[in-house]
Amino acid sequence: MKVGVLALQGAFIEHEKKLRQLGAETVEVRLPRDLDGLDGLIIPGGESTTIGKLAVEFGLIEPLRTFAQQHPTWGTCAGLIFLAKDIGIDRQPILGVMDITVNRNAFGRQVDSFEIDLPLARLGDMPFHAIFIRAPIITAVGKQVETLGQLDDGRIVAAQSGHLLGTAFHPELTNDLRLHQYFLSMIKDR
Ligand code: GLN
């Protein structure tokens, strides 16, 4: 299995390590041709405005959009913002492929970053240690979108829409491989 990781900016190396630990081949995606022959793609956390700007510069917006419409694609944090249909502003380039509304930097300054044990029924009984760093939240999901994870107060931080997966936190910064395993199983089941 060959999985791409968008490598313009942000935490792409950590995702590659996790994928390799699980036996997948990884490809760093920087140019449209890097998408050729990939079975899936991860868009990492980082800074969504920077990722968007660089994607425009490298002619990646349309190729990434087409890829994500057809193949399993997982956005974490900034990557989740990049996948969303609606982020409440239209100046920032996004792919707009996942039917969710996302609010950037939703936790404000005081709780810039925090960690919690998040129940994710899809992964079994053991909660997932979720690291949030200037994280977004999902404020609305479309009809076809399943909510996978919510904070105690109900705010949505993980969702899936068919072959598209989105998480507001950073699973590549923990030792838990279960979400990467889950994404690989989405690819296998396709
Ligand atoms: N706050 C960042 C943004 O708006 C996302 C932060 C992250 O990816 N950890 O793009």
User: Per residue in 51-84, pLDDT tens?
Assistant: 999 999 999 999 999 999 999 999 999 999 999 9
Cβ burial of 75 (10 Å; 0-12, 13-18, 19+) is buried
Q: Under 8 Å CB-to-CB from 158, ≥6 apart: which residues?
A: 118, 120, 147, 148, 149, 165, 166, 167, 168, 169
**Catalytic annotation present for 163:** no
Q: Are 118 and 108 in contact (CB under 8 A)?
A: no
Q: Are 107 and 130 in contact (CB under 8 A)?
A: no
Ligand 1 atom 2: residue of nearest CA: 47
Regarding the beta carbon of 87 and ligand 1, being less than 6 Å apart is answered no
Report the 10 Å Cβ neighbour count for 73: 29
What is the CATH architecture of 2-188? 3-Layer(aba) Sandwich (3.40)
Nearest ligand 1 atom to the CA of 47 is 10
The tokens describing 137, both together, are 């939240």
Regarding the beta carbon of 46 and ligand 1, being less than 6 Å apart is answered yes
Distance 93 CA to ligand 1 centre (A): 14
Q: What does the pLDDT look like over 96-130, one tens digit per residue? A: 999 999 999 999 876 789 999 999 999 999 999 99
Helix 61-70 to helix 48-57 angle, to the nearest 10 degrees? 110
Regarding the beta carbon of 179 and ligand 1, being less than 6 Å apart is answered no
